[in-house]
Structure 1
Amino acid sequence: MAEENGASKQESPSLSILTQYIKDLSFENPGAPASLQKRDGQPEISINVNVNANPIGEDTYDVTLSLKAEGKSGEKSLFLCELVYGGVFRVANFPKEHMLPMLFIECPRLLFPFARQIVADATRNGGFPPLLVDPIDFAQMFQKRMAEEQARSKVQQTTN
Structure 2
Amino acid sequence: MADEGNVLSNLGTAPNGADNQPVAGVISQYVKDLSVENPKAPESFNWRSQPEMDVQFNIGANKVSDEVTEVELRITATSKTAEGVAYIVELSYCGLIGMRNMPDEQMHAFTYAEAPRILFPFARRVIADAVRDAGFAPLLLDPIDFNGLYIQQLAQRRAEEGAAAPAPATTEPSGEA
Q: TM-score, normalised by structure 1?
A: 0.84
Q: Which has the larger radius of gyration?
A: 2
> 1:26 & 1:156 partners in 2: Cα distance?
40
> Counterpart of 1:132 in 2: which secondary structure?
coil
Question: In structure 2, which of residues 11, 22, 43 is the aligned counterpart of residue 34 of structure 1?
Answer: 43
2:43 corresponds to which letter in structure 1? A
CA-to-partner distance for each residue in 1:34-93, whole Å, 9 max, x for gaps?
A: 1012514x3111111111112111121110001111111136211111101001110122
| Alignment check: 8 A CA contact 2:52 2:80 kept | yes
Q: Match of 1:46?
A: 54
Unmatched 5+ stretches in structure 1: none
Say whether 1:67 aligns with 2:75: yes
Q: Match of 1:116?
A: 124
Q: Match of 1:93?
A: 101
Higher helix share: 1
Higher strand share: 1
> 2:111 & 2:140 partners in 1: Cα distance?
24
Counting only pairs closer than 5 Å after superposition, residues 1-160 of structure 1 correspond to structure 2 as 11-40=20-49, 42-74=50-82, 76-150=84-158, 153=161
C-alpha displacement at 1:145, in angstroms? Answer: 3.0
Rate the CA distance shift 1:75–1:34 in 2: closer, same or farther, 3 A: closer
Rate the CA distance shift 1:13–1:46 in 2: closer, same or farther, 3 A: same
1:37 corresponds to which letter in structure 2? N
Q: TM-score, normalised by structure 2?
A: 0.76
- Runs of 4+ aligned residues of structure 1 deviating over 6 Å after TM superposition are none
The range that moved more, 31-40 or 117-126, is 31-40
Percent identity over the alignment is 39
Unmatched 5+ stretches in structure 2: 1-14, 167-177
